[in-house]
Structure 1
Amino acid sequence: MYNLRQFFHLDDSLPHTRHIAHWQVSALRLMLMTVFLISLAITSHSLYAYVASQTPSHLTITSVASTIIFSLLLFSRKYYFFSAHTLLLSITIFAIYIHLFTPAIHAIQISATITYVTPVIALILIGRKTSTCYTVLNLLPLYIIFQDLGTPSKNAQAELLHNAHFYIHTFVFFFFNICIPLAVWRTSLAAMHLQQQLQQHSALLEKQKNLYRKFFQNAYSAIILVNEKQQIVEANRKAKQLLNLYHHPLPCHSQLIFNQAIGDSGQLYKRANSILQIDAKERHEKSLSAWYVSDASEQFHLQQQFKALGAQHHQTKYFNTQVNLPNKTWLREQIDIAVKGAAPFIVAIADNQNLKVLEHGIDAEQRKLLYKHINKIFEHHNQANSAVAYLGSGRLGFIAAHNGALIDTVKQWQQNLDFWIRLGNLQYHAKYAVSVAAYPQHGYSAERLLKNAVQACELRHSNVLYSVFDFSLKKQRLGRHEMALLLEKALEYDELEIYLQGKHFACGRLIGFEALARWNSHLMGFVPAGEFIAIAEEFGLIEALTQYIIHKLCQTLANYPALPVPIAVNVSAQDLEQEDFAQQIKAHLQRYNLAASAIELELTEYSIANDRAHPLMQLKSLSQFGIKLAIDDFGTGYSNIARLIEYPINRLKFDRSLLDKIDTDRNQHALLSGMVKICAKLGIAALAEGVETTPQRDALAQLGMQEFQGYLYSTPQPIEQVLAPYVLQLQAH
């Protein structure tokens, strides 16, 4: 059955030959087969007549005709036009033969009717010109029939029959020679136009397909196409190289490639010595998806280094290895957590009353036993969050819940921290004096509560073992709210001043300044920056303070358009939370016609501590505008080292607390060295703060630190006293 379909071209999958359509070859073969069967039937009938009467009859002619038709059928594809013309001529010759050798009028009429079909066949197989020729040729048999029908009839009935034959043949002639050819020609013309359009569309689709395949294969990204069975059905050159698909014939299951997942994200996979990452999955069809794959090996190993350094940094940041207790940074974060809980609690400072005996009469290992025992006391009283922090110099800090009278809670904790313990060969009396500040009475932030607790400790009489913070004991005798009002007025009446401190290379060459706010109040005198900035953060004035400093700085810089180095301004996490912070900074620069490189923004570590999309968007906008960004006091806050790679940071300022013991503390030395190397690898400038001595600077320079800030180079001075001489010096050179 398949061979017959293939022979008669009933399947369009075969290629065309000499611009001949499949349906034309199919029509020719069907017609030849029909004629061959008729001819074969006539031959069989002639053979029967010959056997019966022993007269040749038409056997020879029909046999020759059958042979010719069969030959045409075999070579109809290779010699298409020859076969078509031969078929048409054979029909015409057959009609002439009947007319010449068959005297019966009905046979002649049949032969003429057969020739009427030739224009239709010619139109289908060859074209309208050939069809027109056969239409003209058919006028001859029509004329012969009309002549045969022209014999006069003998009566009216014969005359009627005579006219009927005339009309019928006229109708048949015009029907087969004009009407049907015109209809077939018009239909074939429409089909031809449709075929041309389909060919044009097919050519266009093929071009688009080739173009898509070219872009797909030459794409910069590695792309694989995956079907609904998770099979990789296609991959571009980049993907084949990355995934080594040359040894896996496609299609192959994706699990053969992505079979060792890393983590629970479903995006990282290990393959041989590489780490593969599926960046995106795009569904293009119902059953086909495009996976974008990249080599994340370097990024993954860098993140692993970040995690290792982060763990080391976390231990250094939160834990004091000398006493095996958490430190002040940990305590501050615990206070922040407790503030969010909104339940009343106390922040306590406990000072050891027998510190001299502990430091001079007991070695370091025995002292660890003391703090281990203290830690067990806090584990037993779980309302203190099961831990205590070591603040240095024998001082402890902790938080604890309280429900009753505040003074009773303080007394109870003082009794808990008054005990005897055997340390080596000595019976040691651990006796702590406890001073507390309570939330919410004495403050709403960790910084304020700790400061108030320390102040309560400092103002406690030497012969008293417990004390509670009292606002009346504040040096300035002003409530925090009153100070906030004064600060608000100070911003309004322009009482704050800007001081500058230089940032330098090791050789002393200046690379920039840091703007520092100073407040000399008419009522309170000089107010430390840490104090009024804490007030601004607590009472929602920090945004106004930041904008005030930036506006005043830009206003001053407008007088020094040739200043070649930037001036850094500190901004807080609250500033970055503003919806239009980036636009405000740009507006200040544009108002005074300053370049984006004129200022630099220094962020606190808390600004990038959590996954907050809006600050990141603000920072990216500022970075794209051309403003440099830095992290200030790095090492004292909340940030993760690995998070630096996500932010457009240009400079990292290491806090002096990380630099104090680099000569004596091996862990601190290794940690700082690793951080400097990571900064160099990421293209981030590393700056050391609080550099005061030449040996300290030299030790930091050996670690790879290139930028420094501190009293060794310059002290904070009023902005006009710094910029005016500096610009004059530049002009002199």
Structure 2
Amino acid sequence: MLMTAFLISFAITSHSLYAYVASQTPSHLTITSVASTIIFSLLLFSRKYYFFSAHTLLLSITVFAIYIHLFTPAIHAIQISATITYVTPVIALLLIGRKTAACYTVLNLLPLYIIFQDLGTPAKNAQAELLHNAHFYIHSFVFFFFNICIPLAVWRTSLAAMHLQQQLQQHSTLLEKQKNLYRKFFQNAYSAIILVNEEQQIVEANQKAKQLLNLYHHPLPCHSKLIFNQAIGDSGQLYKRANSVLQIDAKERHEKSLSAWYVSDASEQFHLQQQFKALGAQHHQTKYFNTQVNLPNTTWLREQIDIAVKGAAPFIVAIADNQNLQVLEHGIDAEQRKLLYKHINKIFEHHNQANSAVAYLGSGRLGFIAAHNGALSDTVKQWQQNLDFWIRLGNLQYHAKYAVSVAAYPQHGYSAERLLKNAVQACELRHSNVLYSVFDFSLKKQRLGRHEMALLLEKALEYDELEIYLQGKHFACGRLIGFEALARWNSHLLGFVPAGEFIAIAEEFGLIEALTQYIIHKLCQTLANYPALPVPIAVNVSAQDLEQEDFAQQIKALLQKYNLAASAIELELTEYSIANDRAHTLMQLKSLSQFGIKLAIDDFGTGYSNIARLIEYPINRLKFDRSLLDKIDTDRNQHALLSGMVKICAKLGIAALAEGVETAPQRDALAQLGMQEFQGYLYSTPQPIEQVLAPYVLKLQAD
């Protein structure tokens, strides 16, 4: 458009220049030159500033047309400017848009108004001629329209169509590339993908899917049932095949009748699920079952109690404690323990009052539920008798002896937690020499009393309130061979407390080690003042004492501190104390023996140790408990058993001592068996250590 306008303006400028040269008059040379310059400038700016150039062109045409129409007397110039002015709406429509064209249409009303009003201008004499030359305007307009506007419009349309065709071609090329790329990704995708129609027929599959589903033997399309062996459900479901497990991970609908299914091999996942199920079953078994003894556990028992509470019928919750626990845990192996609990479980299976099987609560403790209709004391006594039996476990004849304590529903509680807690409390508050007990709310007061006694015992050890008594050990003839140190407690608050009572308190509340250390330390301190004492003094040592890593070193350090010989004291061990950690105990005893300290086994016969096993330990004396001696005159079996053990001790070089000898006939009977050492009221009663050692002080002074 600018090029056409520039050519026209250049032609007019050339004509004006010719007229100027011919007539030497400026004519309209100035305005045509300015117009040509402006149009040429716009032509240069049009590539970069299109809309600015288009608007400037239209405004320039309008301004020049008005100027020529008002101030130029040349009729031809006025006719041309009027023609161009009328064409500006068409030019604006072609170059810019409808709104701009409408504005110029309104603007063209101005020259039309000027013509019809015959305004006074330098060109007013030419108005009539202008109006009479209407055919010139029509001819010029038609020429301009068909030779300039229409060709430009057709050219612009063709150019737009060409651009559109290029864009469509580019878009088609891009779509083809995308389609090829999609096919490439589809075929080479890492995931197995199949395309399925509405009838669930597989119409296409990529290479991964063909390999996974073995579609090489199934020409497509084929129904999905042939591949998955069943109708397809929701995503995530597993489908078993001959050698694998398949899973539909996702379904994507791409068209109305076509979906993409993402398939994966879920064989490993399926096996993991199976393993998790097995682990879940194992966890369930672990939650309710103790595999070490093949019995249910506390959690199972608690739930059984809850079920029994809902039944509303009276029942008891019983706790049974093994009275031979040391032998159970250290004298027999795991398989033999399982045999024991299997036998106990059979007792409950065949008992008509047992509500369920027995549960294992740990450390030899059992728990069970049973119905009861009569007195609680009769029920618990009956169950204690049921759980008191002999059984052969390997080479050992084991005495399974349980102490039973119970709490009853509903009088002792309405929940599993309360009933079980009260049953355990009844078990803890039961006296050691009682084999059955029933929960009693008054027992709580006894528990508090025992706790207060433990506090007082701890203070007594701290403030040196305990005394040491000595009881002699003698040959049959009465000659003294040693003493046993016995602790006595005369509390300023409680009065005289029996040794069996406060020693049990010490064991229950963890004071037994402190008590042993107190007795040994006080004994060594006292013996330092009696260097002329010719016989040793024995001190009782518990299993807890031997469990200390440095127990032997502590004894040696005390003897060295008070400048005492190793033969000044003797250590008396219980059978249970040498049944815990066998290697550690043996190491401790050998260390003490090598140092010169004599060792003895106290209360032999109350546990399940045998003389053959004692060969391993450096034992010097065996003290037979009075329970093995009380029927020596009447019981032939006891007589034969004791006779055999005394002979074995003699062969092994171990001294045999009888405890609790109170009568001469008893002593004589034991002496006939070969027993040479005795301890009991027949020879001496326990006396304060100062009173017993007073004669030795006099002897020392006399010397």
TM-score normalised per structure 2: 0.42
Q: Does the aligned pair in 1 maintain the 2:235–2:249 contact within 8 Å? A: no
Q: CA deviation at 1:603?
A: 0.2
State the SS of the aligned residue for 2:608: coil
Q: CA deviation at 1:470?
A: 3.3
Report the equivalent of 1:654: 624
Q: Does the aligned pair in 2 maintain the 1:142–1:173 contact within 8 Å? A: no
CA pair 321-548 structure 1, distance change in 2 beyond 3 A: same
How big is each residue's C-alpha offset from its partner over 1:584-635, in whole Å with a ceiling of 9 and x where there is no partner? Answer: 1011111110000000000011012245211110100000000000000000
Q: Does the aligned pair in 1 maintain the 2:79–2:137 contact within 8 Å? A: no
Report the equivalent of 1:186: 156
Q: CA deviation at 1:538?
A: 2.1
Is 389-398 or 185-194 further displaced after alignment? 185-194
Q: CA deviation at 1:391?
A: 24
Q: Does the aligned pair in 1 maintain the 2:623–2:657 contact within 8 Å? A: yes
Give the aligned CA root-mean-square deviation in angstroms: 23.4
Q: Does the aligned pair in 1 maintain the 2:429–2:446 contact within 8 Å? A: no
Within 1, Cα distance between the matches of 2:204 and 2:356? 58
How big is each residue's C-alpha offset from its partner over 1:551-580, in whole Å with a ceiling of 9 and x where there is no partner? Answer: 000011011001000000000011001011
Of 262, 266, 272, the match for 1:296: 266
State the SS of the aligned residue for 1:117: helix
State the SS of the aligned residue for 2:313: coil
Q: Does the aligned pair in 2 maintain the 1:502–1:512 contact within 8 Å? A: yes
CA pair 323-235 structure 1, distance change in 2 beyond 3 A: same
Unaligned runs of 5+ in 2: none
Within 2, Cα distance between the matches of 1:217 and 1:642? 82
How big is each residue's C-alpha offset from its partner over 1:492-541, in whole Å with a ceiling of 9 and x where there is no partner? Answer: 01111100000000000000000001111222222221121122122221
State the SS of the aligned residue for 1:370: helix
State the SS of the aligned residue for 1:134: helix
Is 587-596 or 299-308 further displaced after alignment? 299-308
Q: CA deviation at 1:307?
A: 49
Is 51-60 or 395-404 further displaced after alignment? 51-60
Q: Does the aligned pair in 2 maintain the 1:571–1:602 contact within 8 Å? A: yes
Q: Does the aligned pair in 1 maintain the 2:83–2:141 contact within 8 Å? A: no
Q: Does the aligned pair in 2 maintain the 1:351–1:432 contact within 8 Å? A: yes
Please state if 1:622 is matched with 2:592. Answer: yes
Of 83, 94, 97, the match for 1:127: 97
How big is each residue's C-alpha offset from its partner over 1:389-415, in whole Å with a ceiling of 9 and x where there is no partner? Answer: 999999999998999999998599699
Please state if 1:327 is matched with 2:289. Answer: no
Q: Does the aligned pair in 1 maintain the 2:200–2:224 contact within 8 Å? A: yes
Q: CA deviation at 1:352?
A: 22
Is 63-72 or 643-652 further displaced after alignment? 63-72
Q: Does the aligned pair in 1 maintain the 2:621–2:655 contact within 8 Å? A: yes
Q: Does the aligned pair in 1 maintain the 2:340–2:391 contact within 8 Å? A: yes
Q: Does the aligned pair in 2 maintain the 1:630–1:650 contact within 8 Å? A: yes
State the SS of the aligned residue for 1:630: strand
Is 35-44 or 432-441 further displaced after alignment? 35-44
CA pair 392-235 structure 1, distance change in 2 beyond 3 A: same
Report the equivalent of 2:551: 581
CA pair 200-324 structure 1, distance change in 2 beyond 3 A: same
Q: Does the aligned pair in 2 maintain the 1:326–1:388 contact within 8 Å? A: yes
Is 392-401 or 531-540 further displaced after alignment? 392-401
Q: CA deviation at 1:710?
A: 0.1
Q: Does the aligned pair in 1 maintain the 2:543–2:580 contact within 8 Å? A: no
Report the equivalent of 1:361: 331
Q: CA deviation at 1:200?
A: 102
Q: Does the aligned pair in 2 maintain the 1:149–1:162 contact within 8 Å? A: no
CA pair 555-320 structure 1, distance change in 2 beyond 3 A: farther
Within 2, Cα distance between the matches of 1:86 and 1:516? 129
Q: Does the aligned pair in 2 maintain the 1:303–1:642 contact within 8 Å? A: no
Is 670-679 or 321-330 further displaced after alignment? 321-330
Report the equivalent of 1:118: 88
State the SS of the aligned residue for 1:382: coil
Within 2, Cα distance between the matches of 1:279 and 1:561? 92
Within 2, Cα distance between the matches of 1:732 and 1:248? 120
Please state if 1:392 is matched with 2:379. Answer: no
Is 308-317 or 448-457 further displaced after alignment? 308-317
Q: Does the aligned pair in 2 maintain the 1:128–1:185 contact within 8 Å? A: no
Please state if 1:519 is matched with 2:492. Answer: no
Within 1, Cα distance between the matches of 2:175 and 2:482? 61
Q: CA deviation at 1:665?
A: 1.0
Within 1, Cα distance between the matches of 2:82 and 2:480? 113
Q: Does the aligned pair in 1 maintain the 2:301–2:359 contact within 8 Å? A: yes
Q: Does the aligned pair in 1 maintain the 2:360–2:366 contact within 8 Å? A: yes
Q: CA deviation at 1:169?
A: 143
Within 2, Cα distance between the matches of 1:86 and 1:402? 116
Q: CA deviation at 1:481?
A: 2.4
Is 91-100 or 583-592 further displaced after alignment? 91-100
Within 2, Cα distance between the matches of 1:280 and 1:382? 59
Q: CA deviation at 1:698?
A: 0.2
Is 134-143 or 516-525 further displaced after alignment? 134-143
Q: Does the aligned pair in 2 maintain the 1:513–1:567 contact within 8 Å? A: yes
Within 2, Cα distance between the matches of 1:506 and 1:732? 29
Within 2, Cα distance between the matches of 1:679 and 1:113? 150
Of 38, 41, 58, the match for 1:88: 58
Is 397-406 or 472-481 further displaced after alignment? 397-406
Q: Does the aligned pair in 2 maintain the 1:491–1:548 contact within 8 Å? A: yes
How big is each residue's C-alpha offset from its partner over 1:78-120, in whole Å with a ceiling of 9 and x where there is no partner? Answer: 9999999999999999999999999999999999999999999
CA pair 298-421 structure 1, distance change in 2 beyond 3 A: closer
Unaligned runs of 5+ in 1: 1-30
Within 2, Cα distance between the matches of 1:245 and 1:707? 96
Q: Does the aligned pair in 2 maintain the 1:260–1:270 contact within 8 Å? A: no
Q: CA deviation at 1:641?
A: 2.4
State the SS of the aligned residue for 2:442: helix
Is 433-442 or 340-349 further displaced after alignment? 340-349
Q: Does the aligned pair in 2 maintain the 1:609–1:640 contact within 8 Å? A: no
Please state if 1:33 is matched with 2:3. Answer: yes
Q: CA deviation at 1:486?
A: 1.4
Is 651-660 or 312-321 further displaced after alignment? 312-321
Within 1, Cα distance between the matches of 2:669 and 2:107? 114
CA pair 431-720 structure 1, distance change in 2 beyond 3 A: closer
Is 152-161 or 417-426 further displaced after alignment? 152-161
State the SS of the aligned residue for 2:141: helix
CA pair 281-684 structure 1, distance change in 2 beyond 3 A: farther
Q: CA deviation at 1:465?
A: 16
Q: CA deviation at 1:238?
A: 79
CA pair 630-575 structure 1, distance change in 2 beyond 3 A: same
State the SS of the aligned residue for 2:535: coil
Is 150-159 or 478-487 further displaced after alignment? 150-159
Report the equivalent of 2:381: 411
How big is each residue's C-alpha offset from its partner over 1:344-375, in whole Å with a ceiling of 9 and x where there is no partner? Answer: 99998999999999999999999999999999
Q: Does the aligned pair in 2 maintain the 1:116–1:176 contact within 8 Å? A: no
Report the equivalent of 1:3: none
Q: Does the aligned pair in 2 maintain the 1:471–1:479 contact within 8 Å? A: no
CA pair 315-187 structure 1, distance change in 2 beyond 3 A: same
Is 451-460 or 650-659 further displaced after alignment? 451-460
Within 2, Cα distance between the matches of 1:620 and 1:283? 84
CA pair 368-516 structure 1, distance change in 2 beyond 3 A: same
Q: CA deviation at 1:480?
A: 2.8
Q: Does the aligned pair in 2 maintain the 1:120–1:180 contact within 8 Å? A: no
Within 2, Cα distance between the matches of 1:240 and 1:682? 85
Q: CA deviation at 1:671?
A: 0.7
Q: CA deviation at 1:703?
A: 0.3
CA pair 338-280 structure 1, distance change in 2 beyond 3 A: farther
Q: CA deviation at 1:483?
A: 2.0
Report the equivalent of 1:702: 672
Is 363-372 or 449-458 further displaced after alignment? 363-372
Q: CA deviation at 1:468?
A: 2.0
Is 431-440 or 203-212 further displaced after alignment? 203-212
State the SS of the aligned residue for 1:160: helix
Is 97-106 or 202-211 further displaced after alignment? 97-106
Q: Does the aligned pair in 1 maintain the 2:245–2:266 contact within 8 Å? A: yes
Q: CA deviation at 1:721?
A: 0.7
Within 2, Cα distance between the matches of 1:77 and 1:111? 27
Within 1, Cα distance between the matches of 2:702 and 2:169? 79
Q: Does the aligned pair in 1 maintain the 2:45–2:53 contact within 8 Å? A: yes
CA pair 110-241 structure 1, distance change in 2 beyond 3 A: farther
1:51-66 alignment to 2 at 5 Å?
Answer: none
Within 1, Cα distance between the matches of 2:278 and 2:305? 27
Within 2, Cα distance between the matches of 1:92 and 1:243? 79
When Rg is computed on C-alpha atoms for both structures, the one with the higher figure is: 2
CA pair 559-479 structure 1, distance change in 2 beyond 3 A: same
